[in-house]
Chains A and B, each alone.
Chain A
Amino acid sequence: MLRLPKFRYLQPDSIGAAIRMMADNGPDAMFVAGGTDLYPNMKRRQQTPKVVIGLAQINDLRTTKGQLKDGVVLGANLTLSEVTDDSRIRHAYPAVARAAELISTPLLRNMGSIGGNLLLDTRCNYYDQNYEWRKAIHFCMKKDGDICWVAPSSPRCWAVQSSDCAPVMVAIGAKVKLVSSSGERMIPAAELYNDDGIRHLNKRPDELLTEIHLPAVNGWRATYWKLRRRGSFDFPVLGVAVSLKLSKDKTVEDSKIILGGVGSYPIEAATAEKIIAGKKLTEEIIREAAQAAYQPAKPLDNTDFAMTWRKEMARYYVAGTLRELAKL
């Protein structure tokens, strides 16, 4: 049986207590919500906190607040099932509900949290392996080693941003609230992520993610398409989140096209956004945008599927999402 290493487990019952415990324990401590990312990583000895601070008992992290007209605030520790089952979310933020619903399995969604999902460790199949396996390849720079096996000449880690909700949150312009003993800050989801497989979050380890602010819908429509091998279990090897604001005559007023799973952060397809700006989404424009959108996708050979095929699929998926939204 693959087991957890030893650690001290703390269960604060308020945000304040959680922050205090974190401050007291310093860099050896980590928060855990559903544990569906952290515990497998700990069992494989990829992450080895000495102290784990469980968030399950903090009720403030499990509420949904706000009016649809001003936007909705999701507590970071709502489970993915709670998010998808919430009829208001399904109705007003179908892309969020969809992304959450496409994560792994029903069993896992009953445990994993929306906050934990946004903070999910980047993934790479040279890294998501047991200690002994990694030892056999002499480790890699993300943990215990000093080289990147995916791109050995590269000075950086290319582990993949693999959260399904992250690209959606970026596309719809959600904000996240981070709280620590030195205060709190609210940043756009887009700013939460870095183009680096190791330092992939612009978040200090002691910061607690408390809330996710979904902006008022205000005429925007969004969708999310996920590519993976099987209809469940599997992480995205490509996720396309698109959010659009169309004028009355259906021209694109504004848009966000975000690609997940093909780089270390949710990648914005800015050229494609420019192509559709001020235009009606005809089949021709969609094709042109899709062609442009697939350029920034940088899949490498560290996930499931052949990387060239994954890159190509970006085109197909972007076209698909745009078509879906254009039909509305």
Chain B
Amino acid sequence: MAGNNGGKRSLRVVGKPFVKVDAKAKCIGELKFADDLFLPRMLHTKLLRSTVPHARIVHIDVSKAKAYPGVHAVLTGADLPPITYGALPVSEDEYPLAVGKVRMVGDPVAAVAAVDEDVATEALDLVAVEYEPLSVVTSIQDAYATAEPRIHEYGEFGNIHRRQAYEFGSIEAGFAEADYVREDITFYEGSTHLALEQHASLAQFSHDGKLTLWTSTQDMHYLHRHLAKVLQMPASHIRVIATPNGGGFGGKCDPFNHEIVVCKLAMVTGRPVKICLTREEVFYCHRGRHPVLMSTKTGYKKDGSITAMHHRTILDGGAYGGHGVASTFYTGILQPTTYKLPNYRFEAVRVFTNKAPCGPKRGHGTPQPRWAQEIQMDKIADQLGLDPAEMRKQHAIAPNSITANWIRIGTLSLRQCIDKVVAGSGWKDKFRKLAYGKGIGIACSAYMTGTQTPIYYNKLPHSGVQLKLDRSGGVCVFCGSAEIGQGSDSILAYIVAEVLGIDPFDIRVVTGDTDLTPVDLGSYSSRVTLMTGNAAIEAAERARHMLREAVAAKLEVPPERLSFADRRVFDSENPEKGVSFVDAVCLAEEKYGTLGTTGSYKPPAAPGKYKGATIGPSPAFSCTAAIAEVEVNPETGIIVVPRIWIAHDIGQAINPVLAVGQIEGCVYMGLGEALMEEMAYRGNRNLVHKFPSFLEYKSPTTLEMCDVITYLVEEPDANGPFGAKEVGQGPQLPVPPAIANAVYDAVGIRIDEVPITPDKVLKAIRAKAKGQEGRYGPSAFPTCPMPAAMVVPTPWQGGDGKALEGEPALTKK
């Protein structure tokens, strides 16, 4: 039934606004986040962090701190096995506590466990660290120019972490076919997740040698593996419990140093050990949006159709690898999934700098290239005198197609999404017709619903669900997913309830516990609903099969005639005839013994066969169209966004009110990135974060948030549970470019970098008034030596998904 897209009308739970399973616990203050946990004899940890951006550690003296009353343990890097870890196997470059050198202000150097936070804080002051400073790499330009010292000993060369170059089809041929070619250089500033909950972890080491970690993580499973590796313990002796996340947005995906440190401290002291980071420290964890400089050269015809694109990106990765190699791919690899793109060349470089490491934030690597293309599309439409909405519609990618880079697209109702927002916003009466200072702009996007491959290579399921049913009629769902506020626990209850014909309220959900729940890879890449949902359907269908057989025998009707609904199992031809769900479970328990079923999910294989082809493909793609209305004060440059219309193809909303809520949240985050959010550093002052605080890192309040008019477009996809596709990330993508395009409509200027701040707007308005180009944005694109691109013929060139012979190795100079 996975991918069942028919029978929508008969759905009883799916598509209905049931209250979330944990909603009430959240509203009465009962839900326990990691920092809400207290254990007897618990110690508290503080980390001493580097105050220099790049230095060799000459000496650390912890003796005074160790002797301080109330201190139970002090650790440095030397107290842990010299084993590195990191989100991706290709870049395991982190130590829990610095070994040999520090790479950014905020790198943890020592850890203190003490009776309370006051004592731990006081003891930190007693740790003496002597540094030998190294020169600092502050920016992309710096990284290109600085071969030595290297921040890491691995990577391509110098401070270049990673280079990627692909060509799908032939851009040369594509450009030759074009009526016009234009190149735009754009920039997307880095931003952070700013989840309200500060990361917290609590570790307990029991005397039988087993370790338990409660932690605010989105990716419990990967963390579990890293703990085993770094602590050199069998994973089976480690239990990780993902506590509900007070916001994630990608910021709690990486395994973090503090998580490993509290485990070690619990093992050393024999007492439970807790840490809760301060807001400043959360800024140092970061793993947020990469700042990306982009050059997008596009060939197009008079009708706006694209003949070729050469898209180049440079990512400022910060001090560590993290998910960075994947982020690098994502700054290009999904470019062909929105509009038809017959020839595509993509080159990306990620550099190391001495700043907090970047990583996956909502949309992981894709809002940046989307920004580049969507504002360029607007310029193209303007030049050609075409309506940008119509033009997008015309060239939107067709459903059920394969892209130039061998990504299979299933359902995709981008045209319908565009129609919705165009009609709803009154686009036709407004575009280029509003008074000076008011404007309207459009942008679109497509996004994946989970990745086709796990982070480390294996052939195991991506998601597992177990069901337990017993004579009480109770159904319990076990799954390793992590609830980060998106409602993943509830989705499990809805889906199982739907299949078994009971109420979601009848179901108990147990998630995020490596001891109790089967593996799920975690809450990232919009995978959870699709993958856990499909696994849940399989488990529930297996249970339904057992119940059906048992009831059929009892009622003496053919099993296929039995229906499950309203907490009953009955003869669909004679609905009076049936048993209660509780009785059905008893009958099945009688027949089969103790009841339990499992379900698992693994995404279908992708058609691409070249090296790197596993990144990008997804079981299903969602798509979004957004129209923003803006008001620009031409005298101050201040922008107000009163309203955004947004239509999203979600396949099937499992719960519409939660889906609408995700879209509104995406609009919020997009609005913040478009107008104000910015990870800024003081390049001239030891490269400190400019303002690691809630006050100075600007996040929109109720007063900046715009009205949102949301349209759910439901075009079920065969790969989604009941046809469902993602909604948690994709809708953010078109928001910043829609705003930028609306600013152009309002005052005729192009702001080619986010955030679009009033000083930039005013500069461009002034420049335009003086007859110069009304634009603000980067104008130069630095180059570094690139490897020869891997050339992959497209499907329409008769390719087979493989690269041409003699694939150049990517990692060579």
Contact = CB atoms under 8 A, between A and B. Distances in A.
Direct contact of A and B (CB under 8 A): yes
Central interface residue in A3, A130, A136, A230, by most chain B CB within 10 Å: A136
Interface stretch (B432-440, B695-703, B767-775): B695-703
Contacts of B635: 316
B705 to A, nearest CB: 10
B704 A125 contact: no
Nearest to A131: B125
A3 B278 CA distance: 10
A306 B49 CA distance: 30
Given A3-B117, A125-B691, A136 B636 contact: no
Contacts of B704: 230-231
B762 A136 contact: no
A277 B117 CA distance: 60
A304 interface: yes
Contacts of B688: 133, 136-137
B105 A136 contact: yes
A220 interface: no
Interface in A300-320: 304-306, 308-309, 312-313, 316
B121 to A, nearest CB: 7
A130 B701 contact: no
Contacts of A309: 637, 758-759, 762
Nearest to A136: B51
Contacts of A305: 757-759
Nearest to B694: A233
B701 A136 contact: no
Contacts of B703: 230-232
B508 interface: no
B692 A133 contact: yes
B354 to A, nearest CB: 12
A313 B636 contact: yes
A137 B701 contact: no
Interface in A1-32: 1-3, 6
B690 interface: yes
B280 interface: yes
Contact of A130 (B278, B637, B686): B278
B280 A130 contact: yes
Interface string B684-724: 01101111110110101111100000000000000000000
B278 A1 contact: yes
Interface string B759-786: 1001000000000000000000000000
Nearest to B53: A136
B121 A230 contact: no
B762 A229 contact: no
Contacts of A6: 118
A10 to B, nearest CB: 21
Nearest to B105: A136
A137 B685 CA distance: 6
Contacts of B685: 126, 137, 149
A136 B52 contact: yes
Contacts of B759: 305-306, 308-309
B682 interface: yes
Contact of B51 (A1, A126, A132, A308): A132
A313 B117 CA distance: 44
B812 to A, nearest CB: 38
Given A137-B682, A312-B762, A233 B695 contact: yes
A70 interface: no
B695 A234 contact: yes
A315 to B, nearest CB: 9
Contact of B117 (A1, A125, A130): A1
Nearest to B703: A231
Nearest to B682: A137
B698 A229 contact: yes
A229 B676 CA distance: 8
B265 to A, nearest CB: 18
Central interface residue in B635, B676, B690, by most chain A CB within 10 Å: B635
A135 interface: yes
Contacts of B280: 129-130, 132-133
Contacts of A313: 636
Contacts of B696: 125, 128, 304
A232 B701 contact: yes
Interface in B636-657: 636-637
A230 B51 contact: no
Contacts of A137: 682, 685-686, 688
Majority-rule SS of A interface residues: loop
A152 to B, nearest CB: 10
Central interface residue in A129, A133, A234, A312, by most chain B CB within 10 Å: A133
Interface string A117-140: 000000001101110110111000
A304 B702 CA distance: 20
Contacts of A149: 685
Interface in B739-772: 757-759, 762
Interface in B493-541: none
B758 A230 contact: no
A230 B279 contact: no
Interface string B259-303: 000000000000000001011100000000000000000000000
Contacts of B118: 3, 6
Nearest to A2: B278
A136 B682 CA distance: 11
A172 B693 CA distance: 35
Contacts of A135: 51
Nearest to B51: A136
Contacts of B686: 136-137
Nearest to B637: A309
Contacts of A125: 690-691, 696
Interface string A57-101: 000000000000000000000000000000000000000000000
Contacts of A233: 695, 701
Central interface residue in B278, B692, B700, by most chain A CB within 10 Å: B278
Interface in B80-136: 105, 117-118, 121
B642 to A, nearest CB: 13
Nearest to A235: B695
Contacts of B52: 136
Interface in B6-58: 49, 51-52
Interface in B48-80: 49, 51-52
Interface in B332-390: none
A286 B707 CA distance: 36
A286 to B, nearest CB: 13
A135 B124 CA distance: 13
Contacts of B636: 313, 316
A130 B636 CA distance: 33
A5 B693 CA distance: 19
Nearest to B762: A309
A313 B757 CA distance: 14
A305 B701 CA distance: 18
Nearest to A43: B278
Nearest to A125: B691
Nearest to B700: A230
A234 B637 CA distance: 19
A265 B759 CA distance: 25
Contacts of A2: 278-279
Contacts of B689: 133
Contacts of A304: 696, 698
Contacts of A230: 676, 698, 700-701, 703-704
Contacts of B757: 305-306
8 contacts: A3-B121, A129-B692, A132-B51, A133-B280, A149-B685, A232-B703, A304-B698, A308-B759
Interface of B: 49, 51-52, 105, 117-118, 121, 276, 278-280, 635-637, 676, 682, 685-686, 688-693, 695-696, 698, 700-704, 757-759, 762
Q: Pick the 8 closest A-B CB pairs, nearest first.
A: A231-B703, A309-B759, A136-B51, A306-B759, A137-B685, A135-B51, A2-B278, A136-B105
Given A231-B701, A234-B695, A304-B698, 8 more contacts: A2-B279, A125-B691, A132-B280, A229-B676, A230-B698, A230-B704, A231-B703, A306-B757
